[in-house]
Structure 1
């Protein structure tokens, strides 16, 4: 049996990282990393390295020749970026990692929030105008990753995923909050939402992970940036109504306060992943309703 290629995963204990481990362990020889000790949930056949990417001495203890690296380590909730501290930490972690590596291909998980507001589906060539500190963080880290590639030491690619849904999401995020709100509502009651009836492009985290694996397999070219999106525009109101349908819960009107929750809250964010679809066989396999079914079942089990 041929040996599996090595894959270093930073931020492996996070929401996306756990799915990367679950979906990738049969295809890659995974080395999962994080600041803490080995998680209880990590399968026995997956190696764990405790690494502080903010500490260059700690980073130096890692091998520098992984065939593949998936860089997920970062604060991932835009509302946490009220100061510049998470920005500076993310930039330093990315810089330390890129300085350390001496070969292989690195994929950086960026975000759709680096794009300027647009009423049209965004391609990779769409104008950039990061919203809030979170989007700016991703833009700065993209620049570091691109510079590492231009210096010829490692190959790099950048993924710009759109809105995630999936089991294991932080309970304070919008989608899990909607699930709880509908669950707790009286039958037939109106659902009051604090923000805008924004339109988003939702993807199941399992589909996003498969996109990351597909991007890692693309031969390096000068064009290294890939949207990861469904291209389907879904309003938050439609999400609320879909959750109610999944739960079998009769609800009344969905009412919005019509004001953004943060600098990152824009009315329409929808992506165009035609480039990724053309270069690979990737396409989303899990629809919104199925994603919400899995999420509600997971929430009920805890």
Structure 2
């Protein structure tokens, strides 16, 4: 366990540094969007492109990995919606609660953390799950969130906004370009490759620092009281139930003869054990969900993940 903590500690320490910098106002709130933009539009796309281009195309398009992960994401969404929707909570809040329960922070945290733990070969499953969460899980939850609206107009408009947001998000494009480069065995010219490498190397520390700053900003800007029962169970489901579900479904798939390697299953379980994705808070705000609740789920899951994720690594590796 100590050897695992030695690897995971720096990653969560960087998140804490960003949190403390924002809480102590050493980092102005006005600077946080700039950090986000650097990570989202420059550093992280370069990191994903490099991993995609260096990963065999078969790993990037593994149907067994995609199938297991999609099924578990759908089960998490369905279970969370059924457990939370009721007189106190409509479709909008239930849907975004389901999204934050099923969408791990793979892009900003998972890729660099798992590569440090398991090696570069984990990039294939990680990149594939990012694509699934952005294209399927997010779209499904946005659609469910619009069921409170009268008729189908609200859902249609929301889906158009979601698709437009995905089209302008550089992460799917960087994944697609990396996969294309892998398939064609294309390499960038030397100076361009060096520039991309420098930006990719900056992705991990800046992204982790930014996560902490975003969490601090969300906490500082939310003043209403949110009942503990509305966010702690979802955070625990993300950290404990989601990876357990992936492990059970993966073991069942292997028993049924699905060509899912033990290494790929370990990678999927650890990806599911990550805390909730911080960008869900932005989506919840855009679509009018209770963003204070979503921010608290992300904050609690990130804080608890230092121990829960390290424990999962110790059990599986």
More helix by share: 2
| Structure possessing the higher relative contact order (Cα contacts under 8 Å, 6 or more residues apart) | 2
TM over 0.5: no
TM-score (norm: length of structure 2):
0.27
TM-score (norm: length of structure 1):
0.28
